[in-house]
């Protein structure tokens, strides 16, 4: 079957760094996406990885290892507004997105 | 209006009611999706329309009926729902490209409560 695993909840301190992990087992692989979803709002696109390595975009970076079926989202210089759920999704062999349940990130002052 | 809009934002309905959810995308995309989001569960893909043709129906109960009259509008018709159908229903759109995965743009969702 197809499966995306990520931690249910994480807590971090304002100004710190946090890493949210995602492991996947899917039928085929056509890229990995990270989305951010604030409570009561729509998910919004953060990053996309299709090749191994690190993609950096401001305070956010995303890493992919296809051989390990593993990705992480790294958030630096955390701000209170970063409190949200972070969703990992993988494009399968049919180019449909398979979603994880999301990681709720709580930022404390 | 910009992006993807959904109406209504909140809906409470009885099990014998018939209602419809509406989605409109203003991005010129060629694919639209309906997702169900329940608490602490992954997004569940319900239906996919590419170029107005339904290409995906993930074993969704017949009490959910999609309609895509054109590439900008998508409806989800609801009838005789069950309490377990209470969830956030998200609409998304994307621009499909040959052999490339595609970023999806989401609407704000309709919070549905079935009583």
Pair A101, B40: CB distance under 8 Å: yes
Closest by CA to B49, choosing from B106, B91, B103, is: B91
Beta bridge partners of A105: A10, A84
Confidence of residue B102 (pLDDT cuts 50, 70, 90): confident
A96/B48 CB distance under 8 A: yes
| pLDDT in the model for residue B99 | 60
B4/A42 CB distance under 8 A: yes
**Sequence-distant (≥ 6) Cβ neighbours of residue B48 within 8 angstroms:** A96, B31, B32, B33, B54, B55, B56
Residues of B in contact with A33 (CB under 8 A): 101, 103
**Sequence-distant (≥ 6) Cβ neighbours of residue A58 within 8 angstroms:** none
The answer to whether residue B1 scores a pLDDT higher than 60 is no
A42/B107 CB distance under 8 A: yes
> Burial, B69: exposed, middle or buried (Cβ in 10 Å; 0-12, 13-18, 19+)?
exposed
Report yes or no: B102 at the A interface, CB cutoff 8 Å: yes
Residues of B in contact with A96 (CB under 8 A): 45, 48, 56
> Burial, B20: exposed, middle or buried (Cβ in 10 Å; 0-12, 13-18, 19+)?
middle
- pLDDT per residue as tens, chain A (109 positions): 789 999 999 999 999 999 999 999 998 898 999 999 999 889 999 999 999 999 999 999 999 999 999 999 999 999 999 999 999 999 988 778 899 999 999 999 9
Pair A14, A78: CB distance under 8 Å: yes
Which is more confident, A96 or B30? B30
Residues 39-58 of B with CB under 8 A from A: 40-43, 45, 48, 56
A43/B90 CB distance under 8 A: yes
Could you report the per-residue pLDDT of B44-100, keeping only the tens digit for each?
999 998 876 676 667 899 999 999 999 899 999 999 999 999 999 999 999 877 666
| pLDDT in the model for residue B98 | 65
Best A1, A43, A94 residue to mutate vs chain B (most B CBs within 10 Å): A43
Give the DSSP letter of residue B84.
G
Rounded to the nearest angstrom, the minimum Cα separation between B4 and chain A is 10
Mean of all residue pLDDT scores within chain B:
89
Rg from Cα positions in chain B: 14
B40/A101 CB distance under 8 A: yes
Task: Give me the residue from B41, B56, B108 closest to A96, CB to CB.
Answer: B56
A95/B96 CB distance under 8 A: yes
**H/E run at residue A90:** strand A84-91
């Amino acid at each position: 079957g197809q499966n995306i695993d990520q931690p249910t909840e994480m807590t971090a301190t304002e100004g710190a760094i946090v890493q949210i992990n995602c492991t996947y087992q899917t039928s085929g692989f056509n890229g990995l996406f990270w989305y951010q979803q604030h409570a009561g709002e729509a998910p919004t696109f953060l990053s996309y990885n299709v090749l191994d390595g690190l993609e950096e975009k401001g305070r956010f970076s995303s890493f992919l290892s296809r051989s390990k079926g593993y990705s992480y989202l790294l958030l630096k210089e955390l701000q209170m507004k970063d409190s949200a759920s972070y969703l990992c999704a993988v494009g399968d062999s049919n180019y449909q997105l398979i979603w994880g349940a999301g990681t709720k990130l709580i930022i404390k002052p | 209006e910009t992006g993807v809009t959904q109406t209504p934002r909140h809906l409470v309905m009885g099990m014998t009611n018939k209602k419809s959810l509406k989605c409109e995308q203003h991005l010129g995309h060629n694919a639209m999706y309906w997702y169900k989001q329940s608490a602490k569960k992954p997004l569940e893909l319900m239906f996919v329309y590419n170029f107005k043709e339904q290409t995906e129906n993930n074993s969704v109960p017949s009490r959910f009926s999609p309609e895509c009259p054109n590439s900008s509008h998508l409806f989800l018709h609801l009838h005789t729902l069950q309490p377990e159908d209470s969830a956030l229903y998200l609409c998304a759109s994307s621009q499909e490209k040959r052999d490339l995965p595609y970023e999806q743009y989401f609407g704000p969702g309709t919070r549905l409560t079935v009583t």
